C-alpha cells in the first residue's frame, strides 16, 4: 500500500524516525539525474569530432519497461485495465564536467499518444551553452502495427569541448590524436554547434514470440521480471524472443566554430537485432545479438561518403536472489566495429584527397558514456575497435523511495549496485591480433535505479588516465 509523502512524514515523526528527509533529498537528486540523462546532453557534448575521426557507432537508446497496454500487464495488474497516463515535468539545476553548471526543464510523458508510448523531452541552458532534445519511444505506426517508430531530434551549442582528432597538433608532431598510442594531452578545444534527426524505424518480424504479439505481455514485481512471453530460455529465433529489422534514416550537422572543419552526414543505418531476453529493461537471462551497416553516399552535402559495419553480442547469467539482493546477474557484452572505406579518398565538394571516414559518432571509438567509461568521450578512435565488458548487477532489497510517490508522479521500482570492468582498443585495421595487443582497460562501480519505468545510472570508472563519472539513461549495453 502506498502513502503520500505527507502521511509518511507524519508517521515517521511520531515514531522518532528520521529517514524521510534524507529520502526526499535523494528523490530530488534522482529526478535531476533522470532529466539530465533523458536529454542526452552528455552524448551531444561528447561528439566534437570533425569528419576524419571515428567514435561511437550508434545513439544511446532508452532502456525501459513498457506501460500496460496492447495486452501487456504491468506489475500484476489485470488484463484489460486502462493504463494510467503519467506526466512528470520539473525544472532543475544541473552540472556536467564537460559543459559546467546550468538550469533546465524536462518532462517524461507516458500513455498519451498511445498506451505503450513514452515521450521524453528537455531543454538546458548554461554559460554559453544550450540544448533541446525530444525522443518518442514505442510508437506504433497506425496502419501497420509491426512498425515501431522512435524518432529523436536535437539542437545544441557547447563551449570549449575537447576534440581528440587530427594530426596537426604542433606539440605532438607525427602523432594522430585518438590513436591507441596517442597522448592524453593530444587534443584541441573548440566551440561546437550540433543538430541531428534520427528517424528510428523498427519492423518486428513475424517469427518467434513476435509472431502473435508486437509488445510482450509481462508480469513484473516492482520492476523485476516474473513471467511473460519474452524469451531467454532457448536460443531459437523461430521459437523464442523477438527479431527486428531496423532502418534509421539520419542527418546530422556538427560545426566546430574555431576555424576547425565542419561535418555533415546523411545516410541510412540498417540492422538486424535478435532480442532474446526475459525483460529488455533489466535482463537477467538470455542474450541479444545485433549486426548493422551504416552508409553515407556523400549526397545531401555530406562531408564525405563512408561505410561502417559492426556487431554486438550480450549475454546474461542469473545467479538468483540472496539475503540482501532481489536478483543477481552477470552481464557480458562484446562489441566491435570497422570502417572498410577508411583509406579511400576522392575529391568531395571541391576538396581533393578527402578520406571516406565517418564523423566521430558513427564509427569505432572508445571513451565516454558507454564504452571505456573512465576515459574522455572519443578519447580513442580509429578504423576499427573492439570492447569486452563484464558487469555484476546486484539488485538491492533496499529501496528507501518505494513509498515516495509525489502524488502518483514518481515511482522508484528498485536500486542496483553494479561493479564492472572493461577492456578494449582501437586499431588502424580490423586485425584480431592487433586488436588484442596493448589494450586499454578500466574498472568501476555504478548505482542504477528504475524510475517511472526508465533505467537511469551513475557510473564511476577508473583507468590509467584517471577517473570519470558518467550519468545517462539505460544500461551501457546493449544499445537500443
pLDDT digits 0-9 by tens, 192-212: 888 999 999 999 999 999 999
Count the neighbouring beta carbons within 10 Å of the beta carbon of residue 244: 19
Q: Assess contact for 157 and 130: CB atoms under 8 A.
A: yes
What does the pLDDT read at residue 275?
96
Which of 26-35, 190-199, 231-240, 404-413 tops mean pLDDT?
Answer: 231-240
What does the pLDDT read at residue 352?
83
What does the pLDDT read at residue 25?
39
Question: Is residue 340 predicted with pLDDT exceeding 80?
Answer: yes
31-35, 279-283, 389-393: the lowest-pLDDT one: 31-35
pLDDT category at 462 given cuts 50, 70, 90 is very high
Taking the C-alpha atoms of residue 142 and residue 149, their distance in angstroms, rounded to an integer, is 10
Question: Is residue 16 predicted with pLDDT exceeding 80?
Answer: no
Q: What would the pLDDT profile of 285-332 be if each residue is shown by its tens digit?
A: 999 999 999 999 988 888 899 999 999 999 999 999 999 999 999 999
Question: Is residue 254 predicted with pLDDT exceeding 70?
Answer: yes
18-27, 305-314, 377-386, 442-451: the lowest-pLDDT one: 18-27
Question: Is residue 343 predicted with pLDDT exceeding 90?
Answer: yes
What does the pLDDT read at residue 95?
59
Question: Is residue 58 predicted with pLDDT exceeding 60?
Answer: no
* Contacts of 375 by beta carbon, 8 Å cutoff, 6+ apart: 366, 367, 368, 440, 442, 463, 465, 468
**Which of the two residues, 260 and 479, has the higher pLDDT score?**
479
Q: What would the pLDDT profile of 385-395 be if each residue is shown by its tens digit?
A: 999 999 999 99
**Which of the two residues, 471 and 317, has the higher pLDDT score?**
317
pLDDT category at 21 given cuts 50, 70, 90 is very low
51-60, 126-135, 175-184, 302-311: the lowest-pLDDT one: 51-60
pLDDT category at 240 given cuts 50, 70, 90 is very high
Question: Is residue 57 predicted with pLDDT exceeding 60?
Answer: no
What does the pLDDT read at residue 59?
28
pLDDT category at 259 given cuts 50, 70, 90 is low
pLDDT category at 19 given cuts 50, 70, 90 is very low
Taking the C-alpha atoms of residue 385 and residue 339, their distance in angstroms, rounded to an integer, is 10
The 3-state secondary structure of the chain, one letter per residue: CCCCHHHHHHHHHHHCCCHHHHHHHHHHHHHHHHHHHHHCHHHHHCCCCCCCCCCCCCCCCCCECCCCECCECCCCCCCCCCCCCEEEEEEEEEEECCCEEEEEEEEEEECCCCCCCEEEEEEEEECCEEEEEEEEECEEECCEEEEEECCEEEEEEEEEEEECCCCCCHHHCCCCCCCCCCCCCCCEEEEEEEEEEECCEEEECCCHHHCCCCCCCEEEECCEEEEECCCCCCCCCCCCCEEEEEEEEEEEEEEECCCCCCEEEEEEEEEEEEEEECCCCCCCCEEEEEEEEEEECCCCCCCCCEEEEEEEEEEEEECCCCCCEEEEEEEEEEEEEECCCCCCEEEECCEEEEECCCCCCCCEEECCCCCCCCCCCCCEEECEEEEEEEEEEEEECCCCCCCCCCCCCCCEEEEEEEEEEEEEEEECCCCCCHHHCCCEEEEEEEEEEEECCEEEEEEEEEECCEEEEEEEECCCCCCC
% of the chain beyond a pLDDT of 90? 46
99-108, 165-174, 221-230, 311-320: the lowest-pLDDT one: 99-108
Q: Is 76 left (phi over 0), alpha (psi -120 to 50) or beta?
A: left
Average pLDDT, the chain: 81
Question: Is residue 26 predicted with pLDDT exceeding 60?
Answer: no
Question: Is residue 20 predicted with pLDDT exceeding 50?
Answer: no
**122-138 average pLDDT score:** 86
Question: Is residue 10 predicted with pLDDT exceeding 50?
Answer: no
Amino acid at each position: 500500500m502506498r502513502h503520500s509523502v505527507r502521511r509518511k512524514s507524519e508517521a515517521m515523526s511520531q515514531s522518532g524516525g528520521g529517514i524521510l528527509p534524507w529520502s526526499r533529498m535523494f528523490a530530488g537528486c534522482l529526478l535531476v539525474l533522470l532529466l539530465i540523462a533523458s536529454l542526452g546532453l552528455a552524448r551531444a557534448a561528447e561528439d566534437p569530432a570533425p569528419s576524419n575521426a571515428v567514435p561511437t557507432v550508434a545513439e544511446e537508446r532508452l532502456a525501459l519497461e513498457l506501460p500496460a497496454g496492447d495486452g501487456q500487464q504491468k506489475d500484476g495488474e489485470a488484463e484489460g485495465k486502462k493504463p494510467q497516463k503519467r506526466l512528470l515535468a520539473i525544472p532543475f539545476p544541473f552540472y556536467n564536467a564537460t559543459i559546467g553548471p546550468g538550469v533546465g526543464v524536462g518532462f517524461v510523458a507516458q500513455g498519451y499518444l498511445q498506451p505503450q508510448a513514452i515521450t521524453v523531452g528537455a531543454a538546458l541552458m548554461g554559460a554559453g551553452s544550450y540544448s533541446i532534445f525530444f525522443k518518442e519511444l514505442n510508437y506504433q505506426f497506425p496502419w501497420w502495427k509491426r512498425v515501431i517508430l522512435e524518432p529523436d531530434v536535437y539542437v545544441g551549442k557547447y563551449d570549449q569541448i575537447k576534440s581528440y582528432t587530427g594530426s596537426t597538433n604542433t606539440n605532438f608532431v607525427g602523432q594522430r590524436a585518438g590513436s591507441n598510442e596517442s597522448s592524453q594531452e593530444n587534443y584541441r578545444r573548440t566551440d561546437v554547434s550540433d543538430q541531428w534527426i534520427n528517424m528510428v524505424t523498427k519492423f518486428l518480424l513475424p517469427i518467434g514470440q513476435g509472431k502473435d504479439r508486437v509488445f510482450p505481455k509481462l508480469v513484473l514485481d516492482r520492476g523485476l521480471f516474473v513471467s511473460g512471453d519474452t524469451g531467454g530460455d532457448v536460443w531459437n529465433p523461430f521459437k523464442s524472443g523477438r527479431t527486428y529489422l531496423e532502418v534509421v534514416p539520419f542527418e546530422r550537422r556538427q560545426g566546430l566554430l574555431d576555424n576547425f572543419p565542419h561535418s555533415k552526414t546523411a545516410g541510412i543505418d540498417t540492422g538486424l537485432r535478435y532480442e532474446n531476453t526475459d525483460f529488455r529493461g533489466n535482463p537477467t537471462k538470455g542474450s541479444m545479438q545485433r549486426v548493422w551497416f551504416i552508409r553515407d553516399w556523400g549526397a545531401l552535402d555530406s562531408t564525405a561518403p563512408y561505410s561502417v559495419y559492426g556487431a554486438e553480442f550480450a549475454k546474461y547469467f542469473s545467479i538468483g536472489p540472496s539475503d540482501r539482493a532481489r536478483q543477481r546477474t552477470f552481464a557480458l557484452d562484446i562489441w566491435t566495429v570497422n570502417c572498410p572505406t577508411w583509406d579511400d579518398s576522392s575529391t568531395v565538394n571541391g576538396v581533393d584527397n578527402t578520406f571516406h571516414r565517418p564523423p566521430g559518432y558513427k564509427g569505432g571509438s572508445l571513451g565516454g558514456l558507454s564504452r571505456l567509461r573512465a576515459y574522455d568521450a572519443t578519447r580513442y578512435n580509429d578504423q576499427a575497435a573492439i570492447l569486452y565488458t563484464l558487469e555484476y548487477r546486484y539488485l538491492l532489497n533496499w529501496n528507501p523511495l518505494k513509498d515516495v510517490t509525489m502524488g502518483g508522479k514518481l515511482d522508484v521500482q528498485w536500486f542496483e549496485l553494479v561493479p564492472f570492468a572493461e577492456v578494449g582498443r582501437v586499431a588502424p585495421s580490423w586485425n584480431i591480433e592487433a586488436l588484442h595487443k596493448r589494450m586499454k582497460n578500466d574498472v568501476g562501480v555504478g548505482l542504477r535505479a528504475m524510475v517511472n519505468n526508465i533505467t537511469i545510472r551513475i557510473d564511476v570508472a577508473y583507468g590509467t588516465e584517471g577517473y570519470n563519472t558518467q550519468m545517462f539513461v539505460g544500461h551501457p549495453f546493449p544499445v537500443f
